[in-house]
């Protein structure tokens, strides 16, 4: 029975990944999370799932976990996330470098077959090209969060070159879903709309993003694992339908059948890139089906909130 470690497994993506993997009885899942932003109730309560409260950035915490289990695969998703939080706590963000070093070192020493690393679209910074392609778009962001993610990618490649530890790097683009916290734009807008409260947008709202429903994200991760795909490679995971934040707010108001008004606040001083959209060619080959439309994803979230 393969044993899989998911760090950050009480978070939005990690908990859904754990839930879908745990439904396959041939996996044993170990979830590690310090619950700083993760939610314990999101962890699936199944006999093949074990939860350990621990901090991946603390070597004494993580070495004990690797000493107890012989992991076959590791999904390293633990990180400080959210634009506002990462800008306000840059030291905490930089400490995440310790976590990736611990994970890679212990994985190398214990025979882990592959490490799946959660990187981010933030590494691209302001785009030189749209859509943003894994191999041709420069990585130019100077924000602490993006720097740490970029360094984490470099560590994965270095451990492959020196120790033959296999990796796959996921660059996630705005994954949303029912268990996502209000730190992120889709649940924040949706909950305001359902209450009939104003939806606030920083700046003119013409900055663009794309929004990927959680099941599309997680199914791509699982198929990459089980199909032995993109080993020692980078994979964008997102939706290639680019839209403005203003369009997002208007779509949410429509789907929620809300009368909420849109209010514009001053633009953020940093961290709010003007355009963001992935090249999803590789992801679509993995998923081999249509992506979830935003309207359907929002309806799923409304049902989940109910």
Report the C-alpha gap between 96 and 152 in whole angstroms.
Answer: 9
Is residue 148 classed exposed, middle or buried when 0-12, 13-18 and 19+ CB atoms within 10 A define those classes? Answer: buried
Query: Could you tell me how far CA 145 lies from the centroid of its own chain?
Result: 13
Report the C-alpha gap between 11 and 35 in whole angstroms.
Answer: 8
Q: What is the pTM of this model?
A: 0.95
- Specify whether 27 is catalytic: no
Helix, strand, coil shares of the chain, percent, nearest 5, are 40, 20, 40
The verdict on 40 and 141 lying in the same domain is yes
**In 160-278, at which residue ranges do the beta strands (DSSP E only) sit?**
166-172, 175-176, 199-202, 208-209, 212-213, 233-237, 243-244, 262-265
Per-residue pLDDT tens over the stretch 179-217: 898 889 999 999 999 999 999 999 999 999 999 999 999
The verdict on 189 and 113 lying in the same domain is no
The verdict on 131 and 252 lying in the same domain is no
Give the structural domain span for 186.
Answer: 175-210+240-278+293-305
Q: Which is catalytic among the residues 27, 124, 145, 159? A: 145
Is the separation of the CB atoms in 169 and 117 below 8 Å? yes
The domain that holds 201 is classified in CATH as 3.90.25.10
Per-residue pLDDT at 140: 83
Q: How confident is the model at residue 24 (pLDDT cuts 50, 70, 90)?
A: confident
């Amino acid at each position: 029975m393969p044993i899989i470690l998911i760090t950050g497994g009480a978070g939005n993506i990690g908990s859904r990944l754990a839930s879908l993997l745990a439904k396959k009885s041939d996996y044993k899942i170990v979830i590690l999370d310090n619950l700083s932003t993760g939610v314990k109730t999101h962890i699936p309560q199944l006999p093949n799932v074990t939860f350990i409260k621990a901090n991946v950035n603390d070597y004494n915490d993580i070495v004990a976990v690797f000493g107890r289990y012989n992991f076959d695969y590791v999904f390293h998703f633990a990180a400080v996330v959210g634009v506002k939080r990462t800008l306000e706590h840059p030291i905490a963000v930089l400490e995440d470098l310790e976590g990736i070093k611990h994970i890679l070192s212990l994985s190398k020493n214990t025979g882990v077959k592959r490490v799946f690393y959660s990187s981010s679209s933030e590494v691209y910074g302001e785009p030189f090209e749209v859509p943003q392609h894994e191999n041709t778009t420069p990585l130019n962001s100077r924000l602490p969060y993006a720097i740490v993610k970029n360094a984490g990618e470099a560590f994965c490649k270095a451990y492959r070159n020196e120790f033959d530890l296999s990796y796959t790097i996921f660059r996630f683009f705005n994954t949303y879903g029912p268990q996502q916290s209000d730190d992120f734009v889709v649940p924040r807008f949706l909950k305001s709309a359902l209450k009939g409260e104003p939806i606030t947008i920083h700046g003119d709202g013409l900055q663009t993003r794309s929004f990927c429903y959680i099941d599309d994200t997680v199914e791509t991760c699982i198929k990459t694992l089980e199909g032995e795909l993109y080993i020692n490679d980078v994979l964008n995971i997102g939706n290639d339908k680019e839209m403005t934040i203003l369009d997002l707010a208007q779509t949410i108001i429509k789907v929620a059948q809300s009368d909420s008004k849109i209010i514009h606040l001053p633009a953020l001083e940093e961290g709010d890139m003007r355009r963001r959209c992935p090249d999803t060619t590789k992801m679509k080959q993995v998923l081999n089906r249509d992506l979830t439309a935003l309207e359907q994803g929002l309806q799923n979230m409304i049902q989940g909130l109910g």
